[in-house]
Chain A
Amino acid sequence: MSSTMTRNTIEEEVAARTGAMRTIRRGLALSPELRRGLPGTIVLALLATAGKVIIPIVIQQVLDFGIATDGVDMSFVIRMTWVALGAVALTAAATGWMHLRLAKVSETALSGLRVRAFRHIHDLSMLHQASEQRGALVARVTSDVDQISRFMQWAGLMIIVNAGQALMAIVVMVVYSLPLALVVIVAIPIIILTVRWFQTRLEKAYLIVREKVGRMLATLAEVVVGAPVIRAYGIEQRVRDKLGDAIEEHRASAVKAGGLSSTFSGVGELLSSLVIAGVLVVGTILAVNGTETVGTVVAFLFLVQLFIQPIQTFGEAVNEAQTAVAGWRRVLDVLDIPPDVADPGPRGIDLPHRPLGVDFVNVNFRYPKTGETGREATGTVALRDVSVAIAPQTRVAVVGETGSGKTTFAKLLTRLMDPSSGEVRVGGVNIRNIRFRSLRDRVVMVPQEGMLFRGTIGDNVRMGKPEASRPELDQTFRRLGLDDWLGELAAGLDTQVGERGASLSVGERQLVTLVRAAIADPELLVLDEATSSVDPATEVRISRALNQLTAGRTVVTIAHRMSTAEAADRVLVFDDAEIVQDGTHAELVAEGGVYGRLYASWQRGTADIAAE
Chain B
Amino acid sequence: MTTDAVLEESLQAERKVIGRGLQLIRRQLRRAPRQFGLGFGGTALYAVMTIASAYAVGYATDAVLIPSIEAGEVSTAGLVGAALLIIGVSAARGLGISLRRYGAYAAQYRLQQRDRTDVTDRYLELPIEWHRRYPTGQLLSNVNADVEAASQIAAPLPMAFGVLVMLAITIVVLIFTDPYLAIVGFAITPAIALTNIAYQRRMRIAAASAQRLRAEVSEIAHESFDAALVVKAMGREDAEVGRFGSRSDDLRDRMVDVGRLRAAFDPMMEALPTIGVLAVVLVGAWRVDQGLMTEGTLVTFAYLFRLIALPMRVFAWLLGQLPMAVVGWDRIEAVLDETGAVEYGTTALTSSGGAAAEAAAVGYLYPETETADLADPDAAPRATTNGERRGIESVTLDVPPGKTVALVGPTGSGKTTVAHLLVRLFDPDEGCIRLDGKGLIDLERSEIADTAALVFQEAFLFDDTIAANITLGAPHSAAEVREAAELAQAHEFISQLPAGYETLVGERGASLSGGQRQRIALARAIVGKPRLLVLDDATSAVDPAVETTILEGLASLDTTVVIVAYRRSSIVLADEVIFIEDGRITGRGTHEGLYAASPAYRALIDAYDKEGAA
Which among B64, B74, B113, B611 has the greatest number of chain A C-beta atoms within 10 A? B611
* Nearest CB in chain A to that of B111: its residue: A251
Nearest-CB distance from A108 to chain B (Å)? 6
**In the complex where A58-B278, A99-B259, A240-B121 touch, is A281 in contact with B94 (Cβ < 8 A)?**
no
* Nearest CB in chain B to that of A256: its residue: B105
Q: Does B65 lie within 8 Å of A533, measured CB to CB? A: no
Nearest-CB distance from B345 to chain A (Å)? 15
The answer to whether the Cβ of B22 comes within 8 Å of any Cβ in the partner chain is no
Q: From residue 269 to 311 of chain B, which have CB atoms closer than 8 A to chain A?
A: 270-271, 274-275, 277-278, 281-282, 285-286, 288-289, 295, 298-299, 302-303, 306
**In the complex where A229-B460, A608-B569 touch, is A93 in contact with B267 (Cβ < 8 A)?**
yes
Complex Cα distance, B544 from A137, in Å, reads 37
Contact with B65, one of A103, A226, A297, A609 (Cβ below 8 angstroms): A297
Residues of A within 8 A of B448 (CB): 234
Selected A-B contacts with CB under 8 Å, 6 pairs: A96-B264, A153-B259, A228-B128, A231-B425, A255-B106, A436-B235
- Number of CB contacts from chain A to chain B under 8 A: 445
Q: Which of A215-223, A345-353, A469-477, A546-554 contacts B (4 or more CB under 8 A)?
A: A215-223
Nearest-CB distance from A379 to chain B (Å)? 18
Q: Which of A23-31, A138-146, A179-187 contacts B (4 or more CB under 8 A)?
A: A138-146
Q: Does A284 lie within 8 Å of B295, measured CB to CB? A: no
Against B, the Cβ 8 Å flags (1 = close, 0 = not) of A99-127 are 11011100110110011001101110001
The answer to whether the Cβ of A201 comes within 8 Å of any Cβ in the partner chain is no
Q: From residue 174 to 220 of chain A, which have CB atoms closer than 8 A to chain B?
A: 217-220
Contact with B109, one of A4, A235, A254, A513 (Cβ below 8 angstroms): A254
The 7 closest A-B pairs by CB, nearest first: A103-B259, A273-B90, A258-B105, A234-B449, A440-B235, A602-B612, A72-B289
* Nearest CB in chain A to that of B227: its residue: A451
**In the complex where A243-B120, A287-B65 touch, is A281 in contact with B79 (Cβ < 8 A)?**
yes
**In the complex where A72-B286, A258-B109 touch, is A220 in contact with B232 (Cβ < 8 A)?**
no
Complex Cα distance, B72 from A535, in Å, reads 103
Q: Does B410 lie within 8 Å of A92, measured CB to CB? A: no
The answer to whether the Cβ of B445 comes within 8 Å of any Cβ in the partner chain is yes
Q: Does B94 lie within 8 Å of A267, measured CB to CB? A: yes
Q: Does A265 lie within 8 Å of B267, measured CB to CB? A: no
Contact with A81, one of B68, B95, B225, B278 (Cβ below 8 angstroms): B278
The answer to whether the Cβ of B360 comes within 8 Å of any Cβ in the partner chain is no
* Nearest CB in chain B to that of A132: its residue: B510
**In the complex where A72-B288, A287-B65, A609-B572 touch, is A262 in contact with B97 (Cβ < 8 A)?**
yes
Contact with A251, one of B109, B120, B248 (Cβ below 8 angstroms): B109
The answer to whether the Cβ of A371 comes within 8 Å of any Cβ in the partner chain is no
Q: From residue 44 to 102 of chain A, which have CB atoms closer than 8 A to chain B?
A: 55, 58-59, 62-63, 66-67, 71-72, 74, 77-78, 81, 84-85, 88-89, 91-93, 95-100, 102
Complex Cα distance, B575 from A554, in Å, reads 48
Q: Does A228 lie within 8 Å of B603, measured CB to CB? A: no
Against B, the Cβ 8 Å flags (1 = close, 0 = not) of A230-248 are 1111111011100110011
Complex Cα distance, B402 from A363, in Å, reads 57
Contact with A444, one of B234, B278, B386, B456 (Cβ below 8 angstroms): B234
Q: Does B68 lie within 8 Å of A288, measured CB to CB? A: yes
Nearest-CB distance from A281 to chain B (Å)? 5
The answer to whether the Cβ of B369 comes within 8 Å of any Cβ in the partner chain is no
The answer to whether the Cβ of A499 comes within 8 Å of any Cβ in the partner chain is yes
Q: From residue 110 to 147 of chain B, which have CB atoms closer than 8 A to chain A?
A: 110, 112-113, 116-117, 120-121, 123-125, 128, 131, 136, 139-140, 143-144
* Nearest CB in chain B to that of A440: its residue: B235
Nearest-CB distance from A374 to chain B (Å)? 15
Nearest-CB distance from B541 to chain A (Å)? 10
Q: Does B569 lie within 8 Å of A604, measured CB to CB? A: yes
Complex Cα distance, B53 from A560, in Å, reads 80
Number of interface residues of A (CB under 8 A): 166
Complex Cα distance, B68 from A2, in Å, reads 67
Complex Cα distance, B87 from A96, in Å, reads 37
Q: Does A77 lie within 8 Å of B285, measured CB to CB? A: yes
Contact with B245, one of A66, A115, A227 (Cβ below 8 angstroms): A115
Against A, the Cβ 8 Å flags (1 = close, 0 = not) of B199-236 are 00000000000000010011101111111111111111
Complex Cα distance, B611 from A565, in Å, reads 12
Nearest-CB distance from B595 to chain A (Å)? 7
Q: Does B91 lie within 8 Å of A270, measured CB to CB? A: yes
Against A, the Cβ 8 Å flags (1 = close, 0 = not) of B135-167 are 010011001100000000000000000000000
The answer to whether the Cβ of B326 comes within 8 Å of any Cβ in the partner chain is no
* Nearest CB in chain A to that of B113: its residue: A251
Q: Does B281 lie within 8 Å of A81, measured CB to CB? A: yes
Against B, the Cβ 8 Å flags (1 = close, 0 = not) of A584-612 are 00000000000000100111111111001
**In the complex where A81-B278, A234-B446, A270-B94 touch, is A107 in contact with B101 (Cβ < 8 A)?**
no
Q: Is the interface of B mostly helix, strand, loop or mixed?
A: helix
Residues of A within 8 A of B460 (CB): 225-226, 228-229
The answer to whether the Cβ of B98 comes within 8 Å of any Cβ in the partner chain is yes
The answer to whether the Cβ of B252 comes within 8 Å of any Cβ in the partner chain is yes
Q: Does A440 lie within 8 Å of B233, measured CB to CB? A: yes
Which among B102, B218, B244, B608 has the greatest number of chain A C-beta atoms within 10 A? B102
Residues of B within 8 A of A487 (CB): none
Q: Does B507 lie within 8 Å of A2, measured CB to CB? A: yes
Nearest-CB distance from B516 to chain A (Å)? 13
Q: Does A301 lie within 8 Å of B57, measured CB to CB? A: yes
Residues of B within 8 A of A251 (CB): 109-110, 112-113
Q: Does A232 lie within 8 Å of B425, measured CB to CB? A: yes
Q: From residue 439 to 479 of chain B, which have CB atoms closer than 8 A to chain A?
A: 445-446, 448-450, 453-454, 456, 460, 462-463, 472-473
* Nearest CB in chain A to that of B521: its residue: A229
Nearest-CB distance from B158 to chain A (Å)? 11
The answer to whether the Cβ of B82 comes within 8 Å of any Cβ in the partner chain is yes
Complex Cα distance, B258 from A60, in Å, reads 38
Nearest-CB distance from B344 to chain A (Å)? 10
Q: Does A604 lie within 8 Å of B90, measured CB to CB? A: no
Nearest-CB distance from A272 to chain B (Å)? 7
**In the complex where A103-B262, A232-B453 touch, is A606 in contact with B612 (Cβ < 8 A)?**
yes
The answer to whether the Cβ of B30 comes within 8 Å of any Cβ in the partner chain is no
Q: Does B233 lie within 8 Å of A122, measured CB to CB? A: no
**In the complex where A103-B255, A605-B612 touch, is A287 in contact with B228 (Cβ < 8 A)?**
no
Q: Does B234 lie within 8 Å of A440, measured CB to CB? A: yes
Contact with A559, one of B80, B425, B614 (Cβ below 8 angstroms): B614
Contact with A604, one of B101, B232, B544 (Cβ below 8 angstroms): B544
**In the complex where A77-B285, A234-B445, A251-B109 touch, is A607 in contact with B259 (Cβ < 8 A)?**
no
**In the complex where A258-B105, A258-B109, A287-B68 touch, is A266 in contact with B98 (Cβ < 8 A)?**
yes
Complex Cα distance, B455 from A232, in Å, reads 9
Q: Does A103 lie within 8 Å of B263, measured CB to CB? A: yes
Residues of A within 8 A of B256 (CB): 103-104, 107-108
Complex Cα distance, B256 from A103, in Å, reads 5
Complex Cα distance, B282 from A255, in Å, reads 46
Contact with A561, one of B60, B543, B611 (Cβ below 8 angstroms): B611
Q: Does A128 lie within 8 Å of B236, measured CB to CB? A: no
Complex Cα distance, B544 from A535, in Å, reads 20
Residues of B within 8 A of A99 (CB): 259, 262-263, 266-267
Complex Cα distance, B79 from A454, in Å, reads 76
The answer to whether the Cβ of A18 comes within 8 Å of any Cβ in the partner chain is no
Against A, the Cβ 8 Å flags (1 = close, 0 = not) of B505-532 are 0111000000000000000100010000
Nearest-CB distance from B549 to chain A (Å)? 11
Q: Does A122 lie within 8 Å of B614, measured CB to CB? A: no
* Nearest CB in chain A to that of B299: its residue: A298
The answer to whether the Cβ of B364 comes within 8 Å of any Cβ in the partner chain is no
Given contacts A122-B231, A273-B87, 10 further A-B contacts (CB under 8 A): A91-B267, A142-B217, A223-B123, A234-B448, A234-B450, A265-B101, A273-B91, A445-B233, A454-B223, A560-B613
Residues of A within 8 A of B66 (CB): 294
The answer to whether the Cβ of B27 comes within 8 Å of any Cβ in the partner chain is no
Contact with B228, one of A4, A128, A262 (Cβ below 8 angstroms): A128
